[in-house]
Amino acid sequence: MALRLRGLAGLAIVNALLVAAAIALGQEEQKLPDAATAAKQLYQNVIFEDVIKAVSKSKTHDGFYLSFGAPYPKQILSVWASNETYHKLPGAGALVGRTVRIRGMVDPTASGPMIYLESPAQFQLRRVDEAMISKTELEGKGDRHQFIMAIRYRLQRNDFDTIEILGSELHQSHERFLDGRWMLDAFFGAFKLGADRSNETFEQRARTITDWKARYPESVLPILVEARFRVDLAWKWRALEAGDKPPNECGQHCEQELAAARQILEARPQAKTSPNYFVEMIGAALGQGWKKEDYFRLFAEAVSREPEYDRFYSAAANYLRWYGKKGEWETFAEEQRRKLGGPEGDARYTRIAWSQEDEYRHHLFDRTAISWPIMAAGFDALIRQYPASNYLKNAYAYFAWEAKDRARLRTALEPIKAHPDMDIWVNLENVQFAEKFAAAESVGASAR
């Protein structure tokens, strides 16, 4: 099937649209100095524009370092943001690889030139490359985030035509990122609203969905996005109504929104042709605390329709981590491994375990029953299946370091030496620590 957006023809269309947008914006802005130029202007107020190479949470201070020129400790300029300021920055949590504009005074420090952000007003996130929706090779957290942001820009302009074409193609093609993750999952991720977003943002999204449904009354996409919107609104209400309630309990408004999401989906069973129908229903089920037998009846229907959709399995692990007994989600991962069997089963186990890693703050193997040897076998299988993925190779090496597996770490570090991924390693110092550990050298703690 020839894809209209994801193929060469689609790229030409997107490029033409971008040229038109550039003309509409008028003359190009004057080029600003880069980080290397700004770093030389000590004790001066500067404005520069450059790409963030790494983001490191400080081990000794309450905040984050943004590294320019190269990841820490080879950076040419650092920008410091307190924890409060950092979390108010647009794009916080997915800034590696993004171009930003920053103003502030350059101070000399022991680790090199530094700008201290006193306010988010000193920070500006530059436009995303909207052609990301048509590029043929994407992978890793950075590309996934920019793909999502490109879709969000289209949504902000009510470009429902482009979104409908892209959504239709991804449903039919089952296209993946280079690391094997579904692009369709990222497509729907573009419509997620965090609980911290403003009331005005939620109100605008409601109006956008109404306009979308009016333009495409027969499409399931705005229906699925509306269900996601209701689940997101439920979590916003939950944050407001939490009080002394347990972490997994809803208040009145939260319950109403979850019920509305479920009603929207149940009224459109034809939307089950999309895996995201089940993703959104599973989200409502998690919030409503469905009984285990009801939840896994829904899960069984989902995987019967699209057994390779990774989001179903990570969501089931989330459900068991919330409502199951200790060790139950790990048992689920092992059951899915055995059910599928062979290298494919190992790979599924790895995807499930990996999906929970953030919940354990780098203690996946200390605080869970996940087996590193099985997970390593899954990485081997994934890398054989997706040999072009640098992201997978970096993740394998990082998990080997977390698991304190010197033998596998030595082997895994070799192919990533030239291209360590800072979305995984955070900074070059961690890569150096891993290399020392692999060589059986002692490892100290970073002071930064």
**30 pLDDT tier (thresholds 50, 70, 90):** low
Q: What is the SS3 string spanning the chain? A: CCCCCCCHHHHHHHHHHHHHHHHHHCCCCCCCCCHHHHHCCCCCEEEEEEEEEEEEECCCCCEEEEEECCCCCCCCEEEEEEHHHHCCCCCCCCCCCCEEEEEEEEECCCCCCEEEECCHHHEEECCCCHHHHCCCCCCHHHHHHHHHHHHHHHHHCCCHHHHHHHHHHHHHHCCECCCCCEHHHHHHHCCCCCCCCCHHHHHHHHHHHHHHHHHCCCCCHHHHHHHHHHHHHHHHHHHHHCCCCCCCCCCHHHHHHHHHHHHHHHCCHHHHHCHHHHHHHHHHHHHHCCCHHHHHHHHHHHHHHCCCCHHHHHHHHHHHHHHCCCCHHHHHHHHHHHHHCHHHHHHHHHHHHHHCHHHHCCCHHHHCCCCHHHHHHHHHHHHHHCCCCHHHHHHHHHHHHHCCCHHHHHHHHHHHCCCCCHHHHCCHHHHHHHHHHHCCCCCCCCCC
Give the per-residue pLDDT at 42.
94
**369 pLDDT tier (thresholds 50, 70, 90):** very high
Give the per-residue pLDDT at 248.
58
Give the per-residue pLDDT at 249.
67
Give the per-residue pLDDT at 242.
66
Give the per-residue pLDDT at 239.
82
Q: For the chain, what is the mean pLDDT?
A: 89
d(CA 249, CA 380): 40
- Tokens 């919330």: give the residue: 322
d(CA 320, CA 350): 17
Give the per-residue pLDDT at 442.
53
Residues 6+ apart with CB under 8 A from 448: 56, 58, 59, 60, 65, 72, 73, 111, 427, 429
Determine the average pLDDT of the residues in 75-81. Answer: 95
Which range, of 239-253, 353-367, 380-394, 404-418, averages the lowest pLDDT? 239-253
Instruction: Decide if pLDDT at 261 tops 90.
Output: yes
Give the per-residue pLDDT at 250.
75
**300 pLDDT tier (thresholds 50, 70, 90):** very high
265-276 pLDDT, tens digit each: 999 999 999 999
- Helices 310-323, 328-340: crossing angle, 10 deg rounding: 150
Give the per-residue pLDDT at 135.
81
Give the per-residue pLDDT at 323.
94
- Burial class of 82 by CB neighbour count within 10 A (0 to 12, 13 to 18, 19+): middle
Contact between 98 and 49 (Cβ < 8 Å): no
92-106 pLDDT, tens digit each: 877 888 889 999 999
8-22 pLDDT, tens digit each: 444 444 444 444 444
Give the per-residue pLDDT at 22.
43
Give the per-residue pLDDT at 124.
92
312-333 pLDDT, tens digit each: 999 999 999 999 999 999 999 9
Q: Considering only the C-alpha atoms of the chain, give the largest distance between any 2 of them, rounded to a whole number of Å.
A: 64
154-180 pLDDT, tens digit each: 999 999 999 999 999 999 999 999 999
**387 pLDDT tier (thresholds 50, 70, 90):** very high
Give the per-residue pLDDT at 388.
95
- Tokens 């994934």: give the residue: 382
Instruction: Decide if pLDDT at 441 tops 70.
Output: no
Which amino acid makes up residue 263? Q
Residue that wins the pLDDT comparison between 200 and 23? 200
d(CA 115, CA 202): 34
Look at residues 325, 326, 328 and name the one whose alpha carbon lies nearest to residue 352. Answer: 328
d(CA 360, CA 341): 27
- Tokens 């959504």: give the residue: 167
- Sequence length of the chain is 448
Instruction: Decide if pLDDT at 399 tops 70.
Output: yes
d(CA 444, CA 388): 33
Contacts 24+ apart (CB under 8 A), 121-127: 123/81, 123/89, 123/90, 124/100, 125/89, 125/90, 125/91, 125/98, 125/100, 126/49, 126/98, 126/99, 126/100, 126/101, 127/153
